[in-house]
Amino acid sequence: MMTSAEILKVVNQGLESLSYNRKPTSLYEPIRYVLSLGGKRIRPVLMLLSYNLFKDNPETILMPALGLETYHNYTLLHDDLMDNADVRRGCPTVHKKWDANTAILSGDSMLVLAYQRVAQCEAQFLPQVLHLFTETALEIGEGQQFDMDFESRCDVTEDEYIEMIRLKTSVLLACALKMGALLAGASDKDADLLYQFGEKIGLAFQLQDDLLDVYGNPKVFGKAIGGDITSNKKTYMLINAVNRANDAQRAELLKWIEAKQFDRAEKVAAVTRLYDEIGIRQLCEEKINFYFEQGKQLLEQVNVSSDRKEVLRQYTNAMMHREK
């Protein structure tokens, strides 16, 4: 079996070797640029690790795995445009380096390329793979729309938020794991267990992101902390802070949420202090552990030997104990 580090190396080499021989180059250069910016490559690595549970040659499904990474980066490209973000992974976003129209069109082409790459699998698996990928892509769009809708709402519930991050984040991790299992010829039961495992890990992963945005070390996290606080993003933490606060704490929270003009550092410090008083950090950590434990139990039910699961166990453990 391959280690996660060996699989990551295969993924990065595969991305570097992708060719864009079509014209005009101005359409494809932003795609090459986006995929060159790095990242954790979690989705293709999970897909190959899942395949490797059942078979020893995960590099044979590299192209579909690169298709998932292409799709993921397409969503980031369009997210950056919708958020008017200036920087992604320390580099200018596509709409800043080029322009908004280029970001739209190159993003659309990335989506088509993602399908083309995912479809490069054995013919016997193609219907299942395309059905899974298409359903996942639709769900991610639904999650993004929910996230946008939540911006103008003050009554978002915890259950609504969890469903939104399941759609926006978890289902692509789940898709990667199930797709790897399907391409390895795993049973439907094992493929479904790995999908559910991916959902739970994805929920824990996104909640970890929420936590790091408030409590992370900015030198390690890679960006200034408190972005969710300054933008009043309806996270698990803010929703529970509002619901669990006493009257005085809720009034102060709402004051900061409603403020049109404020000092960024002052707002981040004040809301973080309220989170500390209300016990939100511990609450979020408990929820992360809850989903992570559920995920581990699902992985244990997959019908392969325990030692074959060890690399995937170690990889997901590292995901849950990251600092960025």
- In whole numbers, what is the pLDDT of the chain averaged over residues? 95
The 8 Å CB, 24+ separation contacts for 35-38 are 35/69, 35/70, 35/73, 37/88, 37/89, 37/91, 38/89
Give the closest residue to 298 by CA, choosing from 205, 202, 174, 194: 194
**Does residue 231 share a domain with residue 141?**
yes
pLDDT reported for residue 46? 98
In the numeric block, which tokens belong to residue 174? 């789940």
- Residue 280 CA to its chain's centroid (Å): 22
- Domain total for the chain? 2
For the chain, which residues score pLDDT lower than 70?
A: 221-223, 324
**Does residue 206 share a domain with residue 159?**
yes
**Does residue 192 share a domain with residue 174?**
yes
- Cα–Cα dist 49/58, whole Å: 7
| Residues 6 or more apart in contact with residue 107 via CB below 8 angstroms | 74, 77, 78, 81, 94
pLDDT reported for residue 223? 64
SS (H, E, C) 29-46: HHHHHHHCCCCCCHHHHH
**Does residue 146 share a domain with residue 61?**
no
pLDDT reported for residue 89? 84
Domain of 216 in residue numbering reads as 127-324
pLDDT reported for residue 224? 74
**Does residue 307 share a domain with residue 162?**
yes
**Does residue 93 share a domain with residue 201?**
no
pLDDT reported for residue 221? 62
Over residues 37-47, the pLDDT tens digits come to: 989 999 999 99
**Does residue 134 share a domain with residue 63?**
no
pLDDT reported for residue 208? 95
**Does residue 142 share a domain with residue 192?**
yes
pLDDT reported for residue 225? 83
Q: Which of 120, 140, 174 is the last residue of a domain?
A: 120
Please state, for a pLDDT cut of 70, what percent of the chain lies above it.
Answer: 99
**Residues paired with residue 34 on neighbouring β-strands, in sequence order:** none
Q: Which of 120, 153, 170 is the last residue of a domain?
A: 120
* Amino acid identity at 92: P
pLDDT reported for residue 98? 94
Over residues 211-243, the pLDDT tens digits come to: 999 998 877 765 678 989 999 999 999 999 999
**Does residue 101 share a domain with residue 135?**
no
pTM: 0.94
Give the closest residue to 190 by CA, choosing from 305, 52, 301: 301
**Does residue 175 share a domain with residue 78?**
no
pLDDT reported for residue 322? 79
CB 69 within 8 A of CB 113: no
**Does residue 186 share a domain with residue 103?**
no
CATH code where residue 11 lies: 1.10.600.10
Q: Which of 120, 153, 180 is the last residue of a domain?
A: 120
**Does residue 92 share a domain with residue 6?**
yes
pLDDT reported for residue 210? 94
